[in-house]
Amino acid sequence: MSECIFCKIVKGELPTKFLYEDDKVAAFQDINPVAPNHILIIPKKHIASMVEVTEEDTQEILPYIFKAAQHLAEEFGMDKEGFRIVNNCGAKGGQTVAHLHFHLLGGRQMLWPPG
């Protein structure tokens, strides 16, 4: 999708420092962090939201997202005190970019309910 900001980041059309990258996913700092550690993990393949995830995506992409989350939580020391992984789906779910992404949040006390 040519107008998708996350697709542009993956293609290198927008400058971004990747904190993690493999052949399936990429991760980078959120530009509007809500926690001391706020990292976005995205598939390199354009998938608009969880609603559009296929069976193949479930097997071929989603495990890499959680592998990246585990790696980053360890790298940034979030594994010691805890962290949160969030996926917003659709407008009422709080999704603002129509490209599947997961927020890895840590470095502060997370509250429940979140909002």
Catalytic-role residue among 38, 46, 71, 101: 101
Domain boundaries, the chain: 5-106
20-21 β-sheet, strand order: 20-21, 25-29, 37-43, 102-106, 83-86
| pLDDT at residue 2, as a whole number | 65
CATH homologous superfamily of 5-106: HIT-like (3.30.428.10)
Sign of CA dihedral 108, 112, 114, 115: negative
| pLDDT at residue 75, as a whole number | 97
Instruction: Quote the pTM value.
Output: 0.95
Q: What does the alpha-carbon distance between residue 51 and residue 100 come to, in Å, rounded to a whole number?
A: 9
Mean pLDDT on 25-47:
97
Our answer to whether residue 46 is catalytic in this structure is no
